[in-house]
Structure 1
C-alpha cells in the first residue's frame, strides 16, 4: 500500500467516565421529559434482566462505514440513558484499517462525547444470547447535540422534509453479503464458499437452508419484518430485504440486520462479508436504498401527472437526487473497493441516469404491483454496504430537498427528470454520463456540492472529506486484488 501521513490509532481511556446528569439540557432529550426517560430506562433494564440479558451493545457507524461499539452491563442502562457513555470523537476520522487521520474540526486525542442509547430501538439479540443492542445518538459533554453525529444528520434531514414540505419519507435497505467457509483469506487466497450452485438457484437454497432458516428466525425474533431472502448471483452471495421504516429507523435496521447475519454466520462456521467486492474479478455486493415520499397517508410516487404516475413533488425530489449522484457516491460508495463493483453492465448502476424497472440505471423507478399507491418507490442502485447508512439516507434526502426547492426557484425546469433510459446505458445513443469511476473523482464532486455541504455542516462534511482523502492515499498504488483483500474483512 502507498505511504500515508496518518497517526497510528491508539486506544481511548477505558476507565469509567463520570459526568453530571445532562437530562435537563434542552437539547439533551428529544422527548423533553428526562424523568420519563429514566423511568423507561429502568423498566427496560428490568425487562432485559428477565430475558437473561447481561450486556447491551451501543453502536454507531463511523465515516469509514464501520460499526463501532461500547457495551454496558444491562443493569447500567439507566445510567447510560441519563449520563451517556464516554467515547472519543477521534473515531470520526478513523480509516478502514483503524489508522487515524485528522480534519479541520476533528482529530487528535482531546475531547470526549456522550453516547446515549435510543430506547425505542432497544432489541434483544437472538443470535447473541445474553446480549441486547441499541443505536446511539452522540452529544457533547454539556448535552448539546454533537455536530458530526451521523444519526443526528439523518434525523435532521427527515425533519426538514416534514417541516418544509409536509413530506414523510419511508426507506429501506437491501442487504447483500457473501458467506465464506472459515475465515476470509488474505491477498492471493481464494475464498471457500458454502455453495456454488446456479445463480438464484434452488440448489443454493437447499444447500444452505439451515443457515438461511436461522437468519430468518433470528431476524423475526428481533421484530424485523423480512420481505425477501434468497441466493444472489455470485458464489456464496445472498440478499435479504426488510420492510420500510422512517429514514433513521431504516438505517438502524441496516445495522441490526448486518450484525444479525454476521452472528448467525459465525454460528454456522461461516464468515459474512458485506464489502463491495470479495473477488474483484466477479460481481460485487450492493446496499441499495429504496425510498418513497408520503403526505397524509398518500404515496407521492403514484397517482400524479409526472413520469409513470409520479407527482410533481416526487419528480422534483428524484431530479435532485439524480443531479447529486456523482457527489452522493462519496457517501454511498465511500471506499476505493466500491469502484471495483461500480462497473458498467454489472447491474451496479454505473451511469447517471434513471429508468423504469431498469437495473442498470443508477436510479431505478418502481411502479409496483397491485396497489401502486402503496408500493411505488425509487431505488438508488449505485451504492453499497461500505456506506454509513445514516449518511447515505440523510444525503439522499438532502439532495431530494434541493430538487424540491427548484419547483419554486428561478428555473422550475431543473425540477424535471430527463428522459428515462431503457436497456443497458452502454448501448444508448447518446450514452448517459458515466458516474465517477474512482473515489477521487467522487470526492471532487462532493467537494463542490453546495447542497451536501450545507446539509451536513462543516464539522461532519470536513471529517468525511478527510477520511475519503485518507483512504485514497492509503490504497494509492495498490492492485485491485490487494484492495479487495484489505477491505473484504472490514465490513
Structure 2
C-alpha cells in the first residue's frame, strides 16, 4: 500500500510515532542508515541518506535538498526554466514509511521513496511522485477507476569496472540460453534471494537478447508503488552485482547498434474490482472503456515519448523490427506494436489481462511515464475514443498507403522530435503542471545540446553508465 496523503510539516498523523518505532526495530536489525530516494526529470536516481536514529525527524520535518536537481542533466550540468535551476531555495524530502525496505543487497541500509514539499509545506510542483499520486487519486474520484501496474526491467551485466568506460559483457551464451543462466547462476540466485527478502514479488528472471542482458518481471501494484518498486529493483540489481565484482547498465543503448534495454510499462484499469481489459464485449474481451483507454494512449504516443524515451540514447534503441514498438499501432501479443494487448492464458484472463506500452526505457522517470500514460488513457476513456484496427506482424512492412489508412505512423526518431510533439500536447503538459512540463522540455533540450555533434557510438558511450 502507498501512502496517499501529502506530507505536512510535523508529519502526517501517526508517522512520527511509527518512524520512532521503526528506527528502533531497524537499529536492532543492524541497519545504520536510510536511503531517501527520488528520480529527477532526467531519469537519474538522486538520494540523501540519514542515520537510522533520524528517521522520526525525517518523518516529521523532512530532509533538505535543493530544487535545482529538477533541471539537472544526466551529466550533472544544470539548465534553467523561469522557475527552476537557480541556487535559491530548499525542499523537504519526506519518506513514505509504507514503502520502507531493508536492503538485502546493501547490509546496514534501508531505503524509502520520498515526496518533496516546499519549506512552506506545499507540494513541490516538480515532484513526479506527487504528480502520479494525484493522477491516480483523480482517476478514482472522477472515473471510479484504479490501476494495477508494473515495470519490466532489462539490464546489461558487464565484467568488473573499466577505467576507459567500455562495456565487456559478463555473458557469452546465446540469447535466452541455458548457458547464460549457468554463467551467472550465483549472481542471479543471490538476486532472487535479495528480492524475496525485500518483499519484491518476482514473476520471471531470465537471460535476454542483447549482450550480457537479463530481464526481471515483477508483480503488479498500484502505479505509485510500481514506480517505487522499479527504482528499488534497480538499486538491488546494482548492489548485488557489485558484491559479485560485476557492473550493470540500465542505459537504453549500451552500444549504438543492436537491441537496447527497455523498461516496458504494464497497466490494467479496474472498476469495482473488475478488470476492464477482460470479460467485455470488445476485441479480445476488452470493455468499451478499456478500448477507449488504449485508443487514448495510442493517440498521444508521439508526445509521450518525451516522458518514456527521454534520452538521446533512447533513439538508438527505438528502431523498427527490434521489438521496441516504434509505430502507433496495437495488437494482441504483437511485440512489434507500441501497445501490446496482453490477454493472458485461458482461466487467468480476469486477473492477467493488461496492456503493455513498449516505447519506454529506463532513462525514463517512472512516475512521469505512468502519469503521462494514465492521463492519455483517461482522456481517451472520457471521450469514448474509438480504437483503430489492430495490426499483426511487423508494421514496418506495411506500405505507406495502408499504414496511413490504419493510422499507423512512425514515432519520433529523435529526442528533438519528441520534444516538439510534447510541446504541442496541451493535455500531457497540463497533467504534469506548468512547472514540471517546462522542466521536462528544458532538460530534454539540454540533453540534445550536450551530445550535439556526437556520432551514435559516442552518444551510447555518453549515457552507458548514467543509468
Normalised by the shorter chain, which TM-score bucket? Answer: over 0.9
Give per-residue Cα distances to partners, 1:33-58, cap 9 Å, x unaligned. 84511111101111111110000000
Q: 2-side partners of 1:186 and 1:163: how far apart?
A: 52
SS in 2 for 1:351: coil
Give, in angstroms, the shift of residue 154 of structure 1: 0.7
Give, in angstroms, the shift of residue 81 of structure 1: 0.6
Q: 1:474 to 1:126 in 2, by over 3 A?
A: same
Equivalenced residue count is 456
Q: How does 1:266-415 map to 2 (within 5 A)?
A: 266-369=242-345, 370-407=347-384, 415=385
Indicate yes or no: 2:7 matched with 1:28. Answer: yes
Q: 1-side partners of 2:7 and 2:323: how far apart?
A: 44
Report the counterpart of residue 394 of structure 2 in structure 1.
424
- Structure 2 stretches lacking a partner, 5+ long: none
- Structure 1 stretches lacking a partner, 5+ long: 1-25, 408-414
Name which of 449, 455, 478 aligns with 2:425.
Answer: 449
Q: How does 1:68-217 map to 2 (within 5 A)?
A: 68-184=46-162, 186=164, 189=166, 191-217=167-193
Q: 2-side partners of 1:54 and 1:206: how far apart?
A: 35
Structure 1 contact 292–378 (Cα < 8 Å) conserved? yes
Report the counterpart of residue 264 of structure 1 in structure 2.
240
Give, in angstroms, the shift of residue 29 of structure 1: 4.1
Give, in angstroms, the shift of residue 155 of structure 1: 0.4
Q: 2-side partners of 1:399 and 1:483: how far apart?
A: 30
Q: 2-side partners of 1:465 and 1:99: how far apart?
A: 15
SS in 1 for 2:26: helix
Indicate yes or no: 2:432 matched with 1:462. Answer: no
Report the counterpart of residue 247 of structure 1 in structure 2.
223
SS in 2 for 1:38: helix
Give, in angstroms, the shift of residue 426 of structure 1: 1.1
Q: 1-side partners of 2:270 and 2:304: how far apart?
A: 23
SS in 2 for 1:361: coil
TM-score (norm: length of structure 1): 0.91
Structure 2 contact 11–61 (Cα < 8 Å) conserved? no
Q: 1-side partners of 2:365 and 2:134: how far apart?
A: 16
Q: How does 1:431-446 map to 2 (within 5 A)?
A: 431=403, 432-446=408-422
Structure 2 contact 7–115 (Cα < 8 Å) conserved? no
Give, in angstroms, the shift of residue 264 of structure 1: 0.5
SS in 2 for 1:139: strand
Give per-residue Cα distances to partners, 1:186-216, cap 9 Å, x unaligned. 47x4x22111111100111011111110110
SS in 2 for 1:59: strand
Structure 1 contact 185–485 (Cα < 8 Å) conserved? no
TM-score (norm: length of structure 2): 0.96
Give per-residue Cα distances to partners, 1:277-319, cap 9 Å, x unaligned. 1111221010000000111211000111112111011111111
Give, in angstroms, the shift of residue 28 of structure 1: 3.5
SS in 1 for 2:338: strand
Give, in angstroms, the shift of residue 185 of structure 1: 6.4
Q: 1-side partners of 2:206 and 2:160: how far apart?
A: 21
Indicate yes or no: 2:13 matched with 1:53. Answer: no
Report the counterpart of residue 5 of structure 1 in structure 2.
none
